Chain A
Amino acid sequence: MHSHIKSSDTNTPLITLVGPPNSGKTTLYNYLSGKKSKTVNYPGSTVNYSVSKILSKHEVNADILDSPGIISLVPTSPDEKVSVDTLYEHPKYGNPDIVIVTVDASQLSRHLYLVKQLIDSNFNLIVVVTMIDILKRNNKDIDIIKLSSVLGCCVVKFDGRNGDGIKELLEKTRDKIMGLAKEEKISPIAKFKIDKDKLLLSYKHIEEIENDVIIDKVLGKNGRIDIASLNENLVVLNNRRPFVKPDEKTLKLDKIFLHRYWGLAIFFIVMSFTFTAIFWIAQPLMDWINGGFENLSDFSSGLLGDNLFSDLISGGLIPGLGSVLVFLPQILILFLILEMLEDSGYLARGAMLVDKPLSLIGLNGRSFVPMLSGFACAIPAAMAARTIANKKERFLTIFILPLMSCSARIPVYALLVAFLTPKDKPYLGGIFFTLIYLFSIASSLVVAAIVNKFRDRIVKEKEDSSFIIELPAYRKPKLTVNLRNAYKNAKEYIKKAGPVILILSFALWALTTFPNYNPNIPDSDKLPAEEVNSLKNSERLSGSYAAMMGKFIEPVMKPMGMDWRIGVSLVATFAAREVFVSSLALIFKVTDDDETNHNSLLTAMEEAKSDDTGQKLFTTSTTIGLVIFFVFAMQCLSTIAISKKETGGWKIPILQIVVFTSLAYVLTVIVVNGLKAMGVS
């Protein structure tokens, strides 16, 4: 019935949800969207907004699209541009049939600005007024009917805490959809341009509307109406608007959170808590997952016996699944903390605190959130960098993201730290871990400062840097919503990274298994079965494709004090870092050991000896060297891909590969040989 409607591939009407940041847009989206909400690619860029069918229980047959918050229809940053483009000319969906815009009732004068632009652009609009509870807390109320009549469009209330008002919204939406069938669709009027006079006029109009629809209960009750209206008249005469105080509680909390010393102390406490939570909470879970999969692998190889299929399952599939799931705990915890910080209102304050120091090295306060997300994964982090309007700052932020200690490195560091930690001093493990994190943060800042010197050569455009951010009122994070979003993010991540890791794991298994799958062991009938097995395994590996590759690159590995076996594992990590542990396990367990227990890899590493010199392969110096290598090396195909997409070219990803990988190699060689020269084994 909607044959005249845009969509090329569907007749379902499209509703686009827009709104200023902190206007309750996402809460509304969560109420409306069904379980099958999916994040979609904006053609030419990456995941940015969500599209979903409206929940079937709402009985509205329409798709709803959620996009990043915007202040006006004149975008300044890439994320805002995507939102605005979605309204005007989405290549796949066309323009929306209905636009729902959220407006914070306590921020009416600011938020109506976008509404006015949308009305002026001829969009088929429903205005949803949120946060009326906050308005009421300040003894005010809003006259929705009046607002609707002065704006000349449909206005409904919505309470994000309990969903009140959703019924009316749905009713109006249904009416609008019915209307769509009857009339020709109106196309939006051309885009807005910067025009100060028009803007001021618009604000003047909005302020009049606000005076009309906001009801001040206190002034009414106290019988001070006359004085009030008198004052108001004076105000109007002076062309001056009365001062509205922000949320009292927020003002009080900000005295502490933004305090010169306390604020900084709290910032460091929050950050340390975030990172220690990753370590202390996620680490045991990761060990548990690792152990579980190792047991599963042993169990399946015992069950299936000694054949190619058994090897494929217990050597390829199970470790592969394990290495996909192993960083689920960390990703979940980090996303959850980020969600909670954002929801509470603290994240914007954190960005404000670090803006000055970051701006000194060519970054921006808005680089804070991407950098923090980088500790989970560089991919969502690179996308979060879109809120940075300035191209140089955005590119530099994306550039240093691979130096943030992402979750893929955790299993690697866990193994290496466990190897370095003396058995009688287990507490040192935590300290080593913290040191690695601090070292990677410090390195990223140093690299940013250095690369910043060449910024004009990398990005030609001259743009002014700016930092304008709303500090929203503090509120208690809603744990269920946070959990749901963290889960959604983590699931998205596993879906994206999972297949890649799994395929790599299979490839690695094949490379270490063939072509010498069934080596001939002389005198095998005279030896015990176990020994034959172990000899077979080691023969199989040393004749494998992986060994050939490893031996080919061995000259490069030698200066780092490493041999072809570590070389093979490192080569594999250039596709994805997390493969390191499983490939080491694959290579060292089969070459040196047939022991099967949790610590088998550590034992195998301790016993591994260099083929030429007979000296121990994993020493303190080479292990520290490996840590350094992992801090710097650009070993992730997905990061390269996202860098290319987000920066719109190969320049940044190629720079990342060259700079970080050579830095990793040179520093590792220096550290390993320096330590050896200093007498560290």
Chain B
Amino acid sequence: MRRADELSIGERAVIKDVDNSHPSAHRILEIGFTPGQEIELLNCSVFNDPLAFAIRGTIIAIRKKEAHCIHI
């Protein structure tokens, strides 16, 4: 299964699940990364990390490690 950190810039995907065991999972869900939601990887920072996603009409930056717990 692919994870959100494997998206390439400009690519869209639908979230299948968020890995519960990840410590930031709850916050990631709270901020709107819920299953069924479509996201797009917009930018990555100069050092390839963090990643900026378009979600629910806004842009949220999260670390690669955190994007890894988002199944797509």
Measured in the bound complex, the distance between the Cα atoms of B59 and A647 in whole Å is 32
Cβ-based interface call for A110 (8 A): yes
Cβ-based interface call for A194 (8 A): yes
Cβ-based interface call for A470 (8 A): yes
Cβ-based interface call for B8 (8 A): no
| Interface set, chain A 431-478, CB cutoff 8 A to B | 463-464, 466-473
Measured in the bound complex, the distance between the Cα atoms of B14 and A250 in whole Å is 23
CB-defined contacts of A469 to chain B, threshold 8 Å = 60-62
- Which of A28-36, A319-327, A351-359, A638-646 faces chain B? A351-359
CB-defined contacts of A353 to chain B, threshold 8 Å = 45-46
Cβ-based interface call for B26 (8 A): yes
Determine the residue in chain A with the shortest Cβ distance to B22. Answer: A464
Determine the residue in chain B with the shortest Cβ distance to A104. Answer: B58
How many residues of B are in contact with the other chain, CB < 8 A?
39
Minimum CB–CB distance for A458 against chain B, Å: 21
How many cross-chain pairs have Cβ atoms below 8 Å apart between A and B?
133
| Interface set, chain B 6-63, CB cutoff 8 A to A | 12, 14, 20, 23-32, 34-40, 42-43, 45-50, 52, 54, 56-63
CB-defined contacts of B14 to chain A, threshold 8 Å = 240
Cβ-based interface call for A503 (8 A): no
CB-defined contacts of A255 to chain B, threshold 8 Å = 43
* Inter-subunit contact A239/B36 (CB<8 Å): yes
Cβ-based interface call for B5 (8 A): no
Residue of B40, B56, B58, B62 near A467 (CB, 8 A) is B62
* Inter-subunit contact A466/B59 (CB<8 Å): no
Mask: chain A, 229-246; 1 = CB below 8 Å from B; 0 = not:
000000000111111111
Residue of B38, B49, B56 near A356 (CB, 8 A) is B49
Measured in the bound complex, the distance between the Cα atoms of B62 and A470 in whole Å is 9
Measured in the bound complex, the distance between the Cα atoms of B24 and A63 in whole Å is 36
User: Given that A203-B34, A352-B45 are contacting pairs, would A468 and B26 also be in contact in the complex, using a CB cutoff of 8 Å?
Assistant: no
Determine the residue in chain B with the shortest Cβ distance to A348. Answer: B61
Measured in the bound complex, the distance between the Cα atoms of B10 and A251 in whole Å is 11
CB-defined contacts of B48 to chain A, threshold 8 Å = 356
Residue of A199, A245, A263, A470 near B46 (CB, 8 A) is A263
* Inter-subunit contact A200/B57 (CB<8 Å): no
Determine the residue in chain B with the shortest Cβ distance to A365. Answer: B50
Sample of 23 A–B contacts (CB below 8 Å) = A71-B27, A74-B26, A74-B30, A106-B57, A110-B58, A113-B30, A200-B35, A203-B29, A203-B32, A240-B36, A241-B37, A243-B39, A243-B54, A251-B42, A254-B43, A255-B43, A258-B52, A264-B46, A353-B45, A356-B48, A357-B47, A467-B50, A472-B59
- Taking Cβ atoms with an 8 Å cutoff, the residues of A that contact B are 71-72, 74, 76, 106-107, 109-110, 113, 194, 196, 199-200, 203, 238-246, 250-251, 254-255, 258, 260-261, 263-264, 348, 352-353, 355-357, 359, 365, 463-464, 466-473
